[in-house]
A and B are shown apart, each in its own frame.
Chain A
Amino acid sequence: MGILEVRDLVVTVEGKKILKGISLSLEKGKIHALMGPNGSGKSTLAFALAGHPDYLIEEGRIFLNSEDITKLPPHERARRGLFLGFQYPPEVEGVRLREFLRLAAANCHEPFCEFQKLYLESLAYFRMDELGERELNVGFSGGEKKRSELLQMRVLRPKVALLDEPDSGVDVDGLRLIAAGIEEAARLGTAVLLITHYPRILEHLPISKVFVLDDGHIVREGGPELAWEIERSGYEAVRG
């Protein structure tokens, strides 16, 4: 059994059925890719797994570390080691990144001194030193927001990280940093679900599995070669 098990998940948003029976399993220390056309439901899956109140789970179950978390509120999932890196991280005026993350770390049982060290080190790791005292995502560029999400993951050290397009809108150097961050997390035991449109980031990373989502169904599962197949021939061919 994987560290995260998703069984027959059906999710509606505003009365519309978006996920139509998703099952997948993520393994500790492995990087899994989730690909699929725009609007296929990738972000919906990530939100539903993280417990967003607008994404209603109609059927199915989610197990984290063998515990059924299907009905838990988002913060309880987070405290158990689930992390969501947002595709579009919201800006929160007046709240300092450091302050926020310190609170988050405390809730995720990170001792304060450990946090301090990890925070400063992670700022350097993601070349974000100038952003450390800034307000949460406020005025961050697209690429900076993505690095900030990765920084948060690195500090919180989750068991499972759902990363929604961490590579979109990121320059070459940023991409390298982000890939390194993901690889490091996996090396330290985090199970990663990497949502992406680009096989480019997969080149930098040891991928164990690729899932293809289409119209609310997982239509294919395979190795890294599947990503290249999509790149070459598009989703039409992959749907089979």
Chain B
Amino acid sequence: MKRTSVGLTAELIEEISREKGEPRWMLEHRLRALEIFRELPMPRFGPDLSEVDFSDISYYLRTVEPVGSWEELPEEIRRTFEELGLPEAERKALAGLGAQVDSEVVYRSILEEVRAQGVIFEPMEEALKNHPDLVREHFMKVIPPEDNKFAALHGAVWSGGTFVWVPEGVEVAIPLQAYFRMQTQGVGQFEHTLIVAEPGSSVHYIEGCSAPRYTKAALHSGMVEIVVKEGAHVRFTTIQNWSRNVYNLNNKRAVAYAGATMDWVSGSLGSKVTMLYPSTILAGKGAKTENLSFSFARNGQWLDLGAKAIHLAPDTSSRLVSRSVVQGKAKSVFRGKLYVAPEAKGAKGHVECSTLLLSPEAETETIPTLDVRNHEVEVGHEATVGRVSRDQLFYLMSRGLDEAEALSLIINGFVSPILKEIPFEYAVELKRLLEMSFAEAIG
């Protein structure tokens, strides 16, 4: 089988599982998730999802067989990756790289010295075969299928994605990267990323996403689960530039144990609708999280973003920062949520969101939720909304910049507190994605 029939049935799930040669427990997990999916309601908040038709999606498609080198990829896909600069990035500066087209990872490499450190960086399917116990211990434990309808859907039909395991005390000095491409019309993508950082280890994982534009609505519903053990540090950077027919409904969550640090950096440029709320559960004393998000919503888009920090332990701290730019008839929402449990004495949390509106029809909403259950805390929230001032524009133009250059500089400047956290020296293709969408917006 290369492609499943359209629609979502138990037979389909069994077919996918058989195709992948999965262990029994995974098939059972999938079937249970399907049951839960059927019972759970659609989200009761946020954008209109009525266009998503679960019976009209191909849930699995193996477009090309995995290859050992870029040259072996079909011409069209190879060209796409080259335009994005992936092979270049891999040569120059990455510890490892994975590339997924539709449902399966088609290319993966890892630097020998990183492998020698004992780091595992494998497509999920391979990891399931090579490290069954490790995967089983963590798979969908951070986000169980019961969590929400899309988590359940993901649990039933997941395919592809990456497993990363960093041994105790190992610091992966340069980033690992994954690139996701939805290539074929009508096929959903449901990759699963699981990162386990053992005590005292550190790793930076970067993912980028894109798709050609089709008229038919498409669904991407990935899941990222991260376990950051005592004193470990994980940084997870995403830039998504899905085409404007994609419903991008993700689940991303991390658990940080004592003294651990979890950083999220998310850039949302593409998609028709995005719902993305990376969360960190601060489960151990002194755990920290930083969650930086920037978004650029343009005509017809609804980017419903957010960040959550769940403080369960004393002396935990969180910082949730968002910068959104909205142009044309588009909407951006930021839901910043802090929960501080009664036992999380000495917790510190800060939510900050700023929006820059480029047009009169642009809409924005910021929805902070601060649920604080003890008194020994420091929490704060700030929100600002601004417009590009004519004086700023004129000032830049009076120095010889044309309007597009001036606007681009202002937008870049506005999101720079977050952009500067992205290591473009590694992720050349992310920079290209950004430049392309800025240019499109302004041009």
A95 within 8 A of B: yes
Given A52-B394, A86-B395, A92-B395, A75 contacting B400 (CB threshold 8 A): yes
Number of A-B contacts (CB under 8 A): 83
Task: Specify which of A53, A79, A90, A99 is in contact with B395 (CB 8 Å cutoff).
Answer: A90
Residues of A within 8 A of B73 (CB): none
Q: Measured between C-beta atoms, what is the minimum distance from B402 to chain A in Å?
A: 5
Contact string against A for B residues 385-405, beta-carbon threshold 8 Å, 1 for contact and 0 otherwise: 000011110111111111101
Residues of A within 8 A of B415 (CB): 94
B413 within 8 A of A: yes
B410 touches A104 (CB 8 A): no
B409 touches A74 (CB 8 A): no
A84 touches B400 (CB 8 A): no
Q: Measured between C-beta atoms, what is the minimum distance from A200 to chain B in Å?
A: 27
A107 touches B392 (CB 8 A): no
Q: Nearest residue in A to B417 (C-beta to C-beta)? A: A94
* C-alpha spacing A42/B397, complex, angstroms: 20
- A residues 89-132 near B (Cβ < 8 Å) are 89-90, 92-95, 99-101, 103-104, 107-108
B412 touches A94 (CB 8 A): yes
Residues of A within 8 A of B392 (CB): 90, 92
Q: Nearest residue in A to B409 (C-beta to C-beta)? A: A95
B339 within 8 A of A: no
Given A94-B417, A95-B412, A95-B413, A53 contacting B399 (CB threshold 8 A): no
* C-alpha spacing A79/B402, complex, angstroms: 10
- A residues 220-235 near B (Cβ < 8 Å) are none
Residue total for B at the interface (Cβ-Cβ under 8 A): 24
B391 touches A90 (CB 8 A): yes
B391 touches A75 (CB 8 A): no
Residues of A within 8 A of B401 (CB): 75, 103-104, 107
Residues of B within 8 A of A190 (CB): none
Instruction: Report, as a range, how many residues of chain A touch the other chain.
Output: 20 to 34
Q: Measured between C-beta atoms, what is the minimum distance from A6 to chain B in Å?
A: 17
* C-alpha spacing A79/B397, complex, angstroms: 10
* C-alpha spacing A136/B417, complex, angstroms: 15
Name the residue among B391, B397, B398, B415 with the largest chain A CB count within 10 angstroms: B398
Residues of A within 8 A of B417 (CB): 94
B390 touches A50 (CB 8 A): no
Q: Nearest residue in A to B394 (C-beta to C-beta)? A: A52
Q: Measured between C-beta atoms, what is the minimum distance from B76 to chain A in Å?
A: 36
Task: Specify which of A79, A89, A136 is in contact with B400 (CB 8 Å cutoff).
Answer: A79
- B residues 366-402 near A (Cβ < 8 Å) are 389-392, 394-402
* C-alpha spacing A54/B389, complex, angstroms: 12
Listed in ascending order, the chain B residues whose CB lies under 8 Å from chain A are 389-392, 394-403, 405-406, 409-410, 412-417
Beyond contacts A95-B410, A100-B399, A103-B405: 6 other A-B pairs, Cβ-Cβ < 8 A, are A53-B394, A73-B397, A86-B395, A95-B409, A101-B399, A108-B400
- The contact sample of 12 A-B pairs, CB cut-off 8 A, is A52-B398, A53-B394, A78-B398, A83-B399, A89-B395, A90-B389, A92-B396, A95-B410, A95-B413, A100-B409, A104-B399, A107-B405
